[in-house]
């Protein structure tokens, strides 16, 4: 294949924005987007709530400055302040740009883009399209990429970076429809492969494929990861499936209640109540359950999200998708009954370590979106800031790659690497005396993470978790792929995804163990307070001998001094 | 407050999934595999076939991603109807099963087959491209991001529902015309085209419309309502199709084109009979020769394949002739208004 200037891995919001911007920056470039699912199916489509921007349409006194402060405070002061400044000052522009290209934002009476309150924000600044915000943004971007003639390699699964010393030669990927392993020599590669929260499996709101492939690929190629221990739990996952009821439901005025009928948030965040930041609300739910004030059922303990008082009209017009989901997956119509919920693993703050232009330490390799870590979310992401992150930094990475690729020489990928990969994949299909089923390992991984590296963490449990992950990694060696065909082999793909999750799970657990403090989403019951003196720093992971080695990096400060975080 | 789930006894039973299998690498022709598993009430079809893949047969191949009815990956034919596996309850399907306890699962139709339950989506993407399924902004690209468009409630509502489409292709799979004419624009693409054409921010309405009235375009639709009945997001697709037709009728007005002739015949039918006589419609529109050449082979093909030809596509019978007459009047008066609006601009 002829060498590309830019290969973008991932067709979610981050990848598509990168593609558009790269084409805009230099229409002469040879750019490809490669995605393991059709881009419009990416997990960005699941974002219901909205994207933050200080447009000041709703609250006239809202400012970019306030958005910056809310984000830094929300991050428990672990975000890099220069990056947050970029995020928030670009926000109004990016929301308008999406409007200009066709995103169907909900409107207010004065015809401007509507905004609603969201957790952890001082003003109502979350822009939305009913409860299908991510879906409509993704559709718009996909449509615009089709308009611009972006070249898509749909249903291609990225396997490895090809590395030559300190630079990348491009990407090795499998064409899912044919099973063929193909080389994508490229001057630059942008990873935009989304998050890794699916490693919590049944206790995750994520799509089946949010397995952290990009993070695992770069990690194995020697690129450092950052802040992996920070995994956000969303307070309101549906009890049975872990699927999400958007924060928008609370933004519209929904209550959280326990088995005693109390609006228990008054105990934890008397002012913000249900609209406190995610980590705090999730911990509150978990505490209510642990202290015995939850409901019991065969599918586990849970609490209630009560929307009934909003009335049928509001529920139907503003939260139609949520209503549908409650009916399909819980058999509950929120108009008539409270919705059974419990916290669910939702978002990965950690990711591939990049600078403010999306660059990694390896020449020609970039990352953006949930798979990257700039870091704008620090120890805890605010609702509505992730869609913003993927758009803003997707665009920046696209532009940076388009500009920088001119400086790099074209490359080629040695044939031998493809043959080697082919051999490696085939070996999964060899009959083994004793074999393991990937489905079982996947479930066990989710279970051990949920139990030992979940919302509340402590040394002894995390150590147990690490042991179990190690033993799962050993058992993985015996996993057998029974589908030996080439065409659309999802059996093989799911095994490869499991491998990625296992590698990353090790970093999450290792980070959770070393960080002896509680900050944002990371709560150590044995170290219940934030310890700025020792731990106001990023954790950095590099792979050594197949396991993570942890280092540190300072947090970039700016206008805002460290403060205690209360709501 | 009583909580029903606490006393809830999960009911369970054996269910057989009769799944269409075909791997072009090894199979000479498709066949069905029966998988019988014990399931609890409340489980979706997707969870069930996931279970089969994990525990019984790992080679069973299908697409699924979000598991929440939003990504559009998992559309397949379940008991002869295209729908999302992840939002379909097994127990509901058991009620519909022809053979007790057996749920039939097949790939979508009208798209090239790849393996088991997976079909090729590229043709649909190609059509989205062909019919410019994007907003071509009234604002030049250099100015994007500086200010937002002002969009009124009315303008917003015009496209709101259509933006629910998740491109799952269920409607494509059930479309009667597509079964014979693979080049046909497709219901989802008509819906998307309509959504773009009514967007007040879009600048290529006329050009897009011109494409839609060409061969294989909007006039080929038989108004069978099957797409709308199928839509997994309950989108009134027919409103979009009618909308495009009205629009085309209004902006062309001429009686010479095949499309407009078709429209005339269409309106005639509704006015006189309160229903569409699709059997005669092609003849009146295209002439006898065209009909024989193009539509007869389709009927013959279907007989050869021992498929029942599509049921005579009536406009929903429940509506009654008066309602349809009224609808027709509204439609025609609307056309007039629309026209004025446009010339007034
Ligand atoms: C249920 C839910 C609701 C949410 N709601 C909100 C919200 O209201 N507001 C908000 O701001 N954020 C929200 N988020 C978070 C936000 O949606 C995500 O963080 C964001 O969409 C991630 O976008 P992305 O472009 O980085 O990745 P994704 O959209 O996940 O895209 C990843 C892409 O990478 C591709 N890919 C992955 N691995 C490979 C591989 N090996 N080879 C090839 N391609 C690959 C995939 O095909 C996909 O195209 C929500 C998240 C969830 C789970
Ligand atoms: S109404 Fe038209 S588009 Fe819809 S299924 Fe029938 S022929 Fe196809
Ligand atoms: S119109 Fe409905 S059925 Fe057709 S692709 Fe869109 S969502 Fe699916
Ligand atoms: S898996 Fe996404 S719609 Fe069913």
The CATH number covering residue A334 comes to 3.90.700.10
Nearest-CA residue of chain A relative to B132? A147
The bound ligand whose nearest atom lies closest to the alpha carbon of A249 is 1
Give me the pLDDT at residue B264, please: 57
Whether residue A439 lies inside any domain: the answer is yes
Domain edges within chain B: 11-119, 122-252, 260-343
Tokens of A369: 């979106």
Higher pLDDT, B243 or B292: B243
Provide the mean pLDDT of chain A: 94
Asked if residue A375 has a cis previous peptide bond (ω within 30° of 0), the answer is: yes
> What is the B295 CA–ligand 3 centroid distance (Å)?
26
Give me the pLDDT at residue A2, please: 76
Give me the pLDDT at residue A291, please: 92
Q: Which helix (H) or strand (E) holds A154?
A: strand A151-154
Contacts of A399 in chain B (CB under 8 A): none
pLDDT, tens digit (0-9, with 9 covering 90-100), for A501-515: 999 999 999 999 999
Contacts of B137 in chain A (CB under 8 A): 100-102
Distance from CA of B11 to the nearest CA of A (A): 12
pLDDT at A458 over 60: yes
Mean pLDDT of A478-497: 96
In total, chain B counts a number of residues equal to 345
Pocket of ligand 1, candidates A36, A47, A186, A492: which has the most ligand atoms within 8 Å of its Cβ, to mutate?
A: A47
pLDDT at B3 over 70: no
Contacts of B6 in chain A (CB under 8 A): 295-297
Whether residue A332 lies inside any domain: the answer is yes
Share of chain A above pLDDT 90, in %: 86
Q: Which residue among A125, A239, A250, A278 is the active-site one?
A: A278
pLDDT, tens digit (0-9, with 9 covering 90-100), for B28-67: 999 999 999 999 887 899 999 999 999 999 999 999 999 9
Share of chain B above pLDDT 90, in %: 66
Higher pLDDT, B290 or B243: B243
Give me the pLDDT at residue B333, please: 43
A-contacting residues in B 22-41 (Cβ below 8 Å): 23-26
CA-wise closest residue to A159 among A497, A430, A464, A400: A497
Judge whether B142 is closer than 8 Å to chain A, CB to CB. Answer: no
Active site residue A263: no
Pocket of ligand 2, candidates B165, B221, B235: which has the most ligand atoms within 8 Å of its Cβ, to mutate?
A: B221
Burial of A363 (0-12, 13-18, 19+ CB in 10 A): middle
pLDDT, tens digit (0-9, with 9 covering 90-100), for A245-287: 887 788 889 999 999 999 999 999 998 899 887 888 999 999 9
CA-wise closest residue to B192 among B176, B171, B178: B171
Helices (H) and strands (E) in chain A, counts: 16, 21
Contacting residues for B137 by C-beta, under 8 A, at least 6 apart: A100, A101, A102, B144, B201, B202, B203
pLDDT at B285 over 70: no
Least confident of A549-563, B46-60, B92-106, B244-258: B244-258
pLDDT, tens digit (0-9, with 9 covering 90-100), for A378-390: 999 998 999 999 9
Tokens of A227: 């802040």
Contacting residues for A123 by C-beta, under 8 A, at least 6 apart: A54, A58, A59, A61, A62, A66, A117
DSSP letter, residue A129: S
Q: How many domains does chain A have?
A: 2
Nearest CA to ligand 2 atom 8: B175
Higher pLDDT, B283 or A170: A170
Q: Which helix (H) or strand (E) holds A156?
A: strand A156-164
Strand residues in A349-420 grouped as ranges (E): 351-353, 365-367, 372-373
Give me the pLDDT at residue A511, please: 98
> What is the B277 CA–ligand 2 centroid distance (Å)?
15
Contacting residues for B173 by C-beta, under 8 A, at least 6 apart: B75, B77, B82, B108, B109, B110, B111, B230
Give me the pLDDT at residue B258, please: 58
β-strands A523-524, A351-353: how paired?
unpaired
What's phi and psi for B311, nearest 5 deg? -60, 150
CB-based contact A371:A504 (threshold 8 Å): no
Give me the pLDDT at residue B322, please: 54
What's phi and psi for A425, nearest 5 deg? -70, -40
Mean pLDDT of B232-260: 81
Mean pLDDT of A537-563: 96
pLDDT at A303 over 80: yes
Contacts of B73 in chain A (CB under 8 A): 37-38, 41
Contacting residues for B38 by C-beta, under 8 A, at least 6 apart: B12, B13, B14, B15
Mean pLDDT of A227-235: 96
CA distance B189 to B204: 16
Q: What is the radius of gyration, based on Cα positions, of chain B?
A: 23
Tokens of B139: 């604002």
CA-wise closest residue to A510 among A473, A545, A467: A467
Least confident of A246-260, B82-96, B198-212, B308-322: B308-322
pLDDT, tens digit (0-9, with 9 covering 90-100), for A63-112: 999 999 999 999 999 999 999 999 999 999 999 999 999 999 999 999 99
What's phi and psi for A255, nearest 5 deg? -105, 150
Whether residue A170 lies inside any domain: the answer is no
CB contact under 8 A, B1 and A261: yes
Higher pLDDT, A262 or B296: A262
B74 lines ligand 4 (CB under 6 A): yes
At residue B249 the predicted structure's pLDDT band, cuts being 50, 70 and 90, is: confident
Mean pLDDT of B277-284: 46
Other beta carbons less than 10 A from residue A416's beta carbon: 8
Give me the pLDDT at residue B340, please: 32
Tokens of A308: 């009934």
Domain end position, chosen among A292, A326, A343: A343
pLDDT at B284 over 90: no
Give me the pLDDT at residue A276, please: 83
Name the one residue in this structure whose structure tokens are 């805009």: A24
At residue B195 the predicted structure's pLDDT band, cuts being 50, 70 and 90, is: very high
Instruction: Supply the CATH classification number for the domain B11-119.
Output: 3.10.20.30
pLDDT at B343 over 80: no
Give me the pLDDT at residue B8, please: 43
> What is the B78 CA–ligand 4 centroid distance (Å)?
14
Nearest CA to ligand 3 atom 4: B171
Give me the pLDDT at residue B166, please: 98
Give me the pLDDT at residue B294, please: 47
Secondary-structure class of domain B122-252 per CATH: mainly alpha
How many inter-chain contacts (A to B, CB under 8 Å) are there? Answer: 188
Q: For the packed helices A13-25 and A385-404, what is the interaxial angle rounded to 10 degrees?
A: 40
- B245 - beta bridge partners? none
Other beta carbons less than 10 A from residue A328's beta carbon: 20
Share of chain A above pLDDT 70, in %: 100
Mean pLDDT of A484-502: 97
β-strands B75-78, B81-84: how paired?
antiparallel
CA distance B115 to B25: 9
Contacts of A207 in chain B (CB under 8 A): 65-68, 71
pLDDT at B254 over 60: no
Contacting residues for A50 by C-beta, under 8 A, at least 6 apart: A116, A118, A126, A127, A128, A129, A133, A248, A384, A387
Tokens of A536: 């106001």
3-state secondary structure of A358: coil
pLDDT at B250 over 70: yes
Contacting residues for A168 by C-beta, under 8 A, at least 6 apart: A161, A162, A186, A189, A221, A362, A363, A364, A365
Domain end position, chosen among A322, A343, A364: A343
Give me the pLDDT at residue A300, please: 79
Nearest-CA residue of chain A relative to B6? A297
B167 lines ligand 4 (CB under 6 A): no
Give me the pLDDT at residue A279, please: 82
Give me the pLDDT at residue B267, please: 53
Distance from CA of A443 to the nearest CA of B (A): 11
Give me the pLDDT at residue A134, please: 97
Nearest to B134 among A143, A295, A482 (CB): A143
What sign results for the dihedral spanned by CA atoms A411, A414, A415, A421?
Answer: negative
Tokens of B183: 């080049």
- A51 - beta bridge partners? A127
DSSP letter, residue B65: S
CB contact under 8 A, B134 and A146: yes
pLDDT at A234 over 70: yes
- B315 - beta bridge partners? none
CA distance B287 to B98: 41
CB-based contact A145:A18 (threshold 8 Å): no
- B15 - beta bridge partners? B37
> What is the span of the domain harbouring residue A282?
235-343
Q: Which helix (H) or strand (E) holds B81?
A: strand B81-84
Q: What is the radius of gyration, based on Cα positions, of chain A?
A: 22
In angstroms, the Cα distances linking A27 to A5, A153, A403 are 11, 19, 12
CA distance A445 to B311: 51
Give me the pLDDT at residue A249, please: 87
Burial of A459 (0-12, 13-18, 19+ CB in 10 A): middle
In angstroms, the Cα distances linking B104 to B49, B93, B310, B333 are 12, 9, 20, 46
Q: Is A84 left (phi over 0), alpha (psi -120 to 50) or beta?
A: alpha
| CATH number of domain containing A465 | 1.20.58.100
> What is the B111 CA–ligand 4 centroid distance (Å)?
18
Give me the pLDDT at residue A139, please: 98
Give me the pLDDT at residue A500, please: 98
- As a three-state string, the secondary structure of A246-312 is CCHHHHCCCEEECCCCCCCHHHHCCCCHHHCCHHHHHHHHHHHHHCCCCECCCCCCEEEEECHHHHH
CB contact under 8 A, A487 and B24: yes
β-strands A456-457, A372-373: how paired?
unpaired
CA distance A244 to A295: 19
Nearest to A96 among B8, B72, B147 (CB): B147
Other beta carbons less than 10 A from residue A186's beta carbon: 31
Give me the pLDDT at residue A410, please: 87
CB-based contact A349:A232 (threshold 8 Å): yes
Asked whether residue A429 falls in the same domain as residue A336, the answer is: no
CB-based contact A141:A152 (threshold 8 Å): no
Q: In b/e form, how buried is each residue of A490-505, taking b as 16+ CB within 10 angstroms?
A: bbbbbbbbbbbbbbbb
Give me the pLDDT at residue B331, please: 42
A-contacting residues in B 78-97 (Cβ below 8 Å): 87, 89
């Amino acid at each position: 294949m002829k060498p590309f200037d830019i290969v973008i891995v991932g067709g979610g919001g981050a990848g598509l924005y990168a593609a558009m911007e790269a084409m805009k920056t230099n229409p002469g470039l040879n750019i490809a987007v490669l995605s393991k699912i059709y881009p419009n199916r990416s997990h960005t489509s699941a974002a219901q709530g909205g994207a933050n921007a200080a447009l000041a349409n709703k609250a006239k006194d809202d400012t970019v400055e306030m958005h910056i402060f809310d984000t830094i405070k929300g991050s428990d002061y672990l975000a890099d302040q220069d990056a947050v400044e970029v995020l928030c000052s670009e926000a109004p522009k990016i929301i308008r740009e999406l409007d200009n290209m066709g995103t169907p934002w909900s409107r207010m009476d004065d015809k401007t883009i509507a905004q609603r309150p969201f957790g952890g924000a001082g003003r109502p600044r979350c822009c939305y399209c009913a409860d299908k915000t991510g879906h409509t943004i993704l559709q718009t971007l996909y449509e615009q990429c089709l308009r611009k003639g972006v070249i898509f390699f749909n249903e291609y699964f990225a396997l490895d970076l090809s590395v030559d010393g300190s630079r990348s030669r491009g990407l090795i990927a499998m064409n899912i429809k044919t099973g063929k392993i193909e080389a994508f020599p490229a001057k630059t590669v942008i990873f935009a492969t989304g998050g890794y929260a699916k490693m919590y499996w049944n206790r995750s709101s994520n799509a089946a494929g949010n397995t952290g492939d990009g993070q695992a690929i770069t990690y194995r190629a020697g690129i450092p990861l950052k802040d992996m221990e920070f995994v956000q739990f969303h307070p309101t996952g549906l009890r049975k499936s872990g699927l999400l009821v958007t924060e928008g439901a609370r933004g519209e005025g929904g209550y959280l209640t326990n088995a005693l009928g109390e609006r228990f948030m008054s105990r934890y965040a008397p002012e913000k109540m249900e609209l406190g930041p995610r980590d705090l609300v999730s911990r509150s739910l978990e505490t209510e359950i642990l202290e015995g004030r939850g409901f019991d059922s065969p599918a586990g303990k849970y609490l209630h999200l009560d929307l009934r008082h909003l009335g049928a009209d509001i529920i139907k017009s503003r939260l139609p998708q949520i209503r549908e989901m409650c009916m399909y997956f819980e058999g509950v119509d929120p108009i008539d009954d409270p919705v059974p919920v419990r916290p669910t693993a939702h978002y990965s703050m950690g990711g591939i370590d990049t600078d403010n232009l999306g660059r990694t330490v390896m020449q020609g390799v970039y990352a953006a979106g949930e798979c990257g870590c700039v870091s704008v979310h620090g120890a805890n992401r605010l609702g509505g800031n992730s869609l913003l992150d993927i758009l803003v930094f997707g665009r920046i990475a696209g532009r940076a790659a388009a500009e920088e690729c001119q400086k790099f020489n074209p490359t080629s990928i040695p044939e031998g690497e493809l043959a080697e990969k082919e051999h490696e994949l085939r070996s999964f299909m060899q009959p083994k005396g004793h074999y393991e089923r990937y489905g079982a390992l996947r479930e066990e991984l989710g279970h051990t993470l949920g139990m030992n590296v979940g919302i509340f963490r402590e040394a002894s449990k995390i150590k147990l978790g690490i042991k179990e992950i190690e033993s799962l990694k050993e058992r993985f060696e015996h996993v057998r792929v029974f589908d030996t065909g080439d065409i659309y082999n999802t059996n093989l793909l799911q095994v490869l995804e499991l491998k990625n999750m296992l590698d990353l799970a090790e970093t999450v657990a290792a980070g959770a163990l070393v960080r002896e403090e509680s900050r944002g989403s990371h709560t150590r019951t044995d170290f219940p307070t934030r310890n700025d003196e020792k731990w106001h720093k990023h954790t950095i992971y590099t792979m050594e001998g197949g396991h993570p080695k942890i280092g540190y990096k300072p947090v970039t400060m700016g206008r805002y001094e460290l403060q205690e975080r209360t709501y | 407050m009583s909580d029903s789930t606490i006393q809830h006894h999960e009911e369970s039973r054996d269910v057989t999934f009769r799944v269409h299998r075909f791997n072009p690498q090894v199979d000479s022709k498709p066949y069905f595999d029966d998988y019988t598993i014990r399931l609890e009430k409340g489980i979706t079809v997707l969870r069930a076939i996931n279970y089969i893949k994990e525990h019984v047969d790992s080679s069973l191949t299908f697409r699924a991603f979000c598991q929440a009815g939003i990504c559009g990956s998992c559309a397949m034919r379940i008991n002869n109807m295209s729908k999302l596996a992840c939002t379909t309850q097994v127990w509901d399907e058991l009620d519909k099963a022809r053979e007790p306890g057996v749920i039939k699962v097949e790939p979508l139709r009208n798209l090239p087959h790849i393996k088991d339950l997976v079909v090729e989506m590229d043709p649909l993407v190609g059509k989205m491209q062909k019919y410019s399924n994007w907003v071509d902004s009234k604002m030049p690209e250099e100015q994007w991001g500086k200010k937002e468009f002002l969009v009124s409630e009315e303008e917003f509502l015009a496209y709101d529902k259509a933006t629910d489409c998740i491109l799952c292709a269920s409607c494509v799979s059930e479309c009667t015309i597509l079964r014979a004419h693979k080049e046909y624009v497709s219901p989802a693409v008509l819906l998307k085209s309509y959504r773009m054409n009514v967007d007040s921010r879009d600048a290529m309405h006329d050009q897009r419309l011109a494409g839609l009235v060409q061969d294989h375009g909007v006039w080929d639709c038989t108004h069978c309502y099957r797409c709308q009945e199928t839509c997994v997001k309950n989108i009134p697709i027919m409103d979009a199709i009618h909308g495009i037709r009205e629009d085309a009728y209004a902006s062309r007005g001429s009686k010479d084109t095949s499309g407009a002739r078709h429209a005339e015949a269409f309106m005639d039918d509704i006015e006189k009979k309160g229903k569409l006589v699709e059997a005669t419609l092609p003849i009146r529109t295209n002439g006898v020769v065209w009909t024989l050449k193009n539509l007869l082979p389709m009927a013959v093909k279907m007989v050869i394949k021992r498929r029942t030809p599509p049921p005579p596509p009536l406009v929903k019978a429940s509506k009654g002739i008066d309602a349809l007459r009224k609808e027709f009047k509204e439609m025609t008066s609307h056309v007039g208004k629309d026209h004025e609006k446009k010339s007034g601009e």
